Amino acid sequence: MLTPNVVSHTTVRRSNLATAPNPRTSARCSSCAMRHLCMPQGLATDDMPKLEALICSARSVRRGEALYRAGDPFDNLYAVRSGSLKTVMAHRDGREQVTGLRLAGDPLGLDGISTDTHSCTSIALEDSSVCIVPYAALKHMCRESGTMQDRLHRLMSEQLIRESSQMMVLGSLSADERVAAFLLDVSDRNGQRGYSHAEFNLRMTREDMGSYLGMTLETVSRTLSRFQKRGLIDAQGKLIRIIDLEGLRHL
């Protein structure tokens, strides 16, 4: 069992297969929002103290619970502190589309800025905890610190790119390619967080994956099975081990 520490950004590689740290432990988090919300890659530290002082209470969200729902008034941004969440957007007829998977360090809630109302729902895929960043305070801070401003802009821009890429996945790739792209993306992001590139616990269900990738859960399942037969991966339910990274890359 891991200690309830926040993800460290050292180069230590360990797998994140253990269950999430107890989300109930802390009400305040010190360095997490800085590192995570305001750019995974450390960077300048001069105005970290400011942000830390300003921001950063924590909230825990149980598996299946919503951090916020579409339509909720928007006041805070969040940064995933531990665990993972999915963002979901609903069509008027009830159909739902998973629009994102957020891992430790990822920002949440940016979509709320434009209308002062959240436009998607964010649901924990496992017991998770997030840092709360009051948007008004952050905005204020961005006017004092250019570094801060820069980080926020980059964060939003990064998110834009991520979504464009997902549009590309949905619009142009075959089922096999989509699943491969997804596995590679998660592998990569896991690696960036100091976890294993090769092995991870996908907390999403096959249905969530399917929704995110624009296909049915059955097709996801079949595709994973096929990948397994071809020796590309080893999948035991939600536990995925990538065996042939290059193989996946070459589709």
**If you ran DSSP here, which 8-state letter would residue 195 be given?**
B
23/210 with CB nearer a copy of itself: 210
18/160 with CB nearer a copy of itself: 160
Quick check: helix, strand or coil at residue 60? strand
147/223 with CB nearer DNA: 223
Q: How far apart are CA 245 and CA 183, in angstroms?
A: 9
Q: How far apart are CA 124 and CA 108, in angstroms?
A: 12
Is residue 170 at the binding interface for DNA, with CB under 7 A as the rule? Answer: no
11/114 with CB nearer a copy of itself: 114
Burial 130-165 (b: 16+ CB within 10 A, else e): bbbbbbeebeebbeebebbeebbeebeeebeeeeee
Q: How far apart are CA 33 and CA 107, in angstroms?
A: 9
142 contacts which partner out of a copy of itself, DNA, none, CB within 5 to 8 A by kind?
Answer: a copy of itself
Q: Give min distance, CB of 40 to DNA, in A.
A: 27
Q: Which of residues 198-217 bind DNA (CB under 7 A)?
A: 205-207, 214-217
Q: How far apart are CA 145 and CA 105, in angstroms?
A: 21
The alpha-carbon radius of gyration of the chain (Å, integer) is 18
6/180 with CB nearer a copy of itself: 180
Residues that bind DNA (CB under 7 A): 174-176, 205-207, 214-222, 224-225, 235-238
Residues that bind a copy of itself (CB under 8 A): 87, 89, 91, 95-100, 110-115, 119-120, 139, 142-144, 146, 149-150, 152-161, 163-168, 170-173, 211-214
